[in-house]
Amino acid sequence: MITALLVMIFLAVVLGLVLGYSAIKFKVDGDPMVARIDAILPQTQCGQCGYPGCKPYANAIAKGEADINQCPPGGDAGAKALAELMGMEFKPLNQEHGVQKPRAVALIDESTCIGCTLCIQACPVDAILGAAKQMHTIIASECTGCELCLPPCPVDCITMEPVLENSQSWKWKYPVYNIEKTSKA
């Protein structure tokens, strides 16, 4: 009886010491999760999720403050990837934050532009060239299609042009050969 008690106490002391020590020794700093979430986000920096950019949104997801389905550019596919990473159940895109649109780039109607630089300040990826009182141009290859430049423009000279498929960006489609279909044919 006494031995049993002593064994218990000895074990308790050892375990307590070891665990207390390792809690200090192996403390994890930072959160690598944020980077992994950020890698999935499309980096549009559009803010439709309710956060000022993709990184802050990634932070919020990692902390459990934001849901995984608030990113319209990422769409359902993005939510699925996030769900997989987080070990959560997939939820379809929350329509409150917007709907997924085909990729588009902003285009400035250069004849209307008054050179106010408001759009330059709004662009999250510095994809607009120009200076005060001079015409602005969008670097199409850098534009993420976030639409943040649309509201500040006082003359509404910016439009979103959808990116169309051409023979270079064209992709082979997933082959669908349904056995039911082909067997009847």
The residues binding another protein (CB under 8 A) are 1, 4-5, 8-9, 11-13, 15-17, 19-24, 38, 41-45, 52-56, 124-127, 142, 144, 165-167, 169-175, 177, 179-180, 182-185
Closest distance of CB 112 from another protein, Å? 26
Closest distance of CB 136 from another protein, Å? 16
Q: Are 37 and 55 in contact (CB under 8 A)?
A: no
Q: What's at 72, amino acid-wise? A: P
Closest distance of CB 180 from another protein, Å? 5
Which residue, 114 or 122, is less far from another protein as judged by CB?
122
Secondary structure, 3-state, 145-162? CCCCCCCCCCCCCEEEEE
Which residue, 25 or 111, is less far from another protein as judged by CB?
25
Q: In residues, how long is the chain?
A: 185
